[in-house]
Chains A and B, each alone.
Chain A
Amino acid sequence: MNGESVVFWVTATFSVMGAVGMVVSRKAVHSALWVAFTMINIAILYFSLEAAFLGTVQIVVYTGAVMMLFLFVLMIVGVDSADSLLETIKGQRLVASLFGISFGAMLIAGITSSGAINARGLTVANNFRGSNIKGLAELIFGRYLLAFEVTSALLITAALGAMVLAHRERVHPRKTQAQLQRERTLSGHPTPLPAPGVMATNNAVNVPGLLPDGSPSQASLPKPFQSNGDDETTTKEVTK
Chain B
Amino acid sequence: MNANNYLVLAAILFTIGAFGVLVRRNAIIVFMSVEMMLNAANLAFVAAARITGTLDGQVTAFFVMVVAAAEVVVGLAIILTIFRTRKSASIDEASLLKY
Contacts and interface: CB of A to CB of B under 8 A. Distances in A.
B18 A100 contact: yes
Given A19-B16, A49-B47, A76-B80, 16 more contacts: A4-B1, A32-B28, A46-B46, A51-B61, A70-B72, A76-B83, A83-B25, A87-B23, A100-B15, A100-B19, A111-B4, A119-B50, A132-B58, A140-B59, A158-B71, A161-B77
A68 B49 CA distance: 29
Nearest to B47: A49
Contacts of B28: 28, 31-32, 70, 73-74, 77
Interface residues of B, number: 69
Contact of B11 (A70, A99, A111): A111
A50 B19 contact: no
Contacts of B5: 8, 12
A171 interface: no
Interface in B45-91: 46-47, 49-56, 58-59, 61-63, 65-74, 76-81, 83-84, 89
Nearest to B20: A23
B50 A50 contact: yes
